[in-house]
Chain A
């Protein structure tokens, strides 16, 4: 593999991770919102259940609207918490897009890469990649602005509405009030489809642009001149990377959040200065804003979220153990000498890296099984937060998967053999 191709390894892995993480966050947000809506109107109890139900959602939307209208300039001045998860995704995406420039021999002319949109998949890739980045930036700004607007609106009204919605929320500022202060975060799946608010369409367009971005990346490599690429293995590789790094990246975000709780809480999430206790704050808030899942009064806590992500992660890791043998066998059955040469590269020239790739994936899966076992042994998925060991193991699994994906993408470019002589 040529040195220049390393920029493509970084570009494809990071941008696919960014799209995967964005979609994972959207799915989690959707599940949390749906769960909260299901729990609306139900009386809640227990130490972790003092959050107002998010259905909650309707009153929340109303609050958000009135907060935005009433606060005006105060909103920006108030500066709500930055939506950390989205910012991390945007940062990863930006580094990935920047790395792509170094594949070009004339990076300063990169803007010309969009000229041939009508026939070149690379042009389309750059257009949709840029669109995804632009929409994601707009979403970050929207989240930050609405959170600030909510924080700047008068507290007593908000809290009154919160109490009404949850039925039993405390009468003094609490984590419940804190969580409720934020208007409904944008979500592609669960927002009211008839609404014209940015919170409805912005995440949907962002998700669509991200998916289109990955589809264009895949289409670039479906070249009849390259048998090893012109196969189901390319969508499986790129989609698989997005799934694995997206799911485990978000899981690692939760894990880091859990491990560092008390370090960065509650200051950034508490512009109103209500003095929310870190341990309680951890269980409140919104997924795309702070790597938190509101329990929504349903009794489901972050341990369940981590458990769900670990299960999904294991499935995504297992996918590769199906794809690699199928790809090798389909290449072996291909009569073209170029296909046989690619098999040779994978199984002889770079067999060590292939084994390392699969070994790292296996180790990551083992770490995720450890996460499941640890959570089960602690207090079960209904525990308010997962044990530290589960968080550490989640981060280990993510790290191993990142290393494995880099190996896998190296192999992707290294196995390339053109047809003909």
Chain B
């Protein structure tokens, strides 16, 4: 496991996201992801609480978990975790068993019918490695609902939590993402 000081992470504020999907588009463009697989997905959550309805969006990709169960499940050793915490798929080693997709609680590994391989968010590691910036999705977000940093940085933000409403128990994989949950305001 990597040092948490170096572990890169996402940060998502549910109060700021408008559901515009700019992050999804930026991801597709930056990484040339074909039609079908979605490395990042914006989902909409609706419900009723404290006498009023609510609705918000969640933008999520691979969370580059501290416990990458996808890599543990992969039989061919195609998924590895870098020293900076980025979990990457070596498609040349992938045999398409898709065990990673079963094991991941976040639906992050995406199967490409085109290549017959699994693929997923790589945290735009090419940009990180080249020092040209962070993940395209976070940098494209118009409301700063989606941000990135080291895990320590995002965890230190006011109100940031690891557990988030509809998401699986964070203890399963210890995802490298922190959330600001929706603050319900009913008149």
Contacts and interface: CB of A to CB of B under 8 A. Distances in A.
Interface of A: 103-106, 109-110, 112-116, 119-123, 126, 220-221, 223-226, 416, 418-421
Contacts of A104: 95-97
A120 B99 contact: yes
Interface of B: 43, 45, 58, 69, 71-77, 93-99, 102-107, 111, 116-117, 166-169, 172
Most chain A beta-carbon neighbours within 10 Å: one of B69, B95, B107, B172: B95
A109 B75 CA distance: 11
B76 A105 contact: no
A225 B101 CA distance: 10
B96 A122 contact: no
Most chain A beta-carbon neighbours within 10 Å: one of B71, B73, B93: B73
B102 A110 contact: no
Nearest to A123: B75
Contacts of A418: 102, 104-105, 107
Contacts of B106: 420
Given A112-B77, A120-B99, 5 more contacts: A223-B73, A225-B104, A225-B105, A225-B172, A420-B167
Nearest to A122: B75
B97 A122 contact: yes
A103 B73 contact: no
Given A120-B72, A420-B167, A113 B105 contact: no
A116 B77 contact: yes
Contacts of A123: 75
B99 to A, nearest CB: 5
A113 B75 contact: yes
A312 to B, nearest CB: 33
A114 B103 CA distance: 18
B74 A120 contact: yes
26 contacts: A105-B96, A106-B95, A106-B96, A112-B95, A113-B75, A113-B76, A114-B75, A115-B76, A116-B74, A119-B73, A120-B73, A121-B73, A123-B75, A126-B75, A221-B102, A223-B69, A223-B73, A223-B102, A224-B168, A225-B69, A225-B172, A416-B102, A418-B105, A420-B105, A421-B45, A421-B166
